[in-house]
Amino acid sequence: MQHAQAPTRSVRLGYAHDGVWAVIRFTLWAAGVGIGFLVVGALWMSTCTGGTGLDTAACGPVQHTLLGLGAPVIFLITAAWAFWRGQRASRIAWHGAGALLLVLTAVTLIPAS
């Protein structure tokens, strides 16, 4: 005779909620890409001083605008993706990831000075 076993609940993060590790990986990946773009943009713009600042091909207003808005756009797109994914899967972890990425969007839009 076979005995039916009730599924056991684990308190470990990976087993407590299916897909939580996917949410964590996505959030860390999105934050890494956005922050990486922000750092590369800051390093690029730091070279636009003195004589090189006159080079409009590398230090023009278009480049300043694109590098200034690149990271917030990355964060906004990934936040929208996380909210859409959370709505589709009805998981609260995706909504938390979307909220965190929206906060990063707002932080990167704050002017430096």
> What is the torsion angle, in degrees rounded to the nearest 10, for the CA atoms of residue 10, residue 95, residue 73 and residue 25?
10
Would 1 be classed as within a structural domain?
A: no
Would 64 be classed as within a structural domain?
A: yes
Would 71 be classed as within a structural domain?
A: yes
- Reported for 88-94, long-range contacts at CB under 8 A and 24+ positions apart, including other chains, are 89/19, 91/17, 91/19, 91/23, 93/17, 93/19, 93/20, 93/23, 94/23
Would 104 be classed as within a structural domain?
A: yes
What per-residue confidence (pLDDT) applies to 26? 94
Would 10 be classed as within a structural domain?
A: no
pLDDT digits (tens, 9 = 90+) for 59-105: 878 888 888 899 999 999 999 999 998 887 768 889 999 999 999 99
Q: Indicate left, alpha or beta for 27 from its phi (over 0: left) and psi (-120 to 50: alpha).
A: alpha
Q: Which domain, by its residues, includes 103?
A: 17-48+58-109
What per-residue confidence (pLDDT) applies to 88? 79
Would 22 be classed as within a structural domain?
A: yes
Provide the number of structural domains found in the chain: 1
- Given a contact cutoff of 8 angstroms between Cβ atoms, the answer to whether 82 and 31 are in contact is no
Would 7 be classed as within a structural domain?
A: no
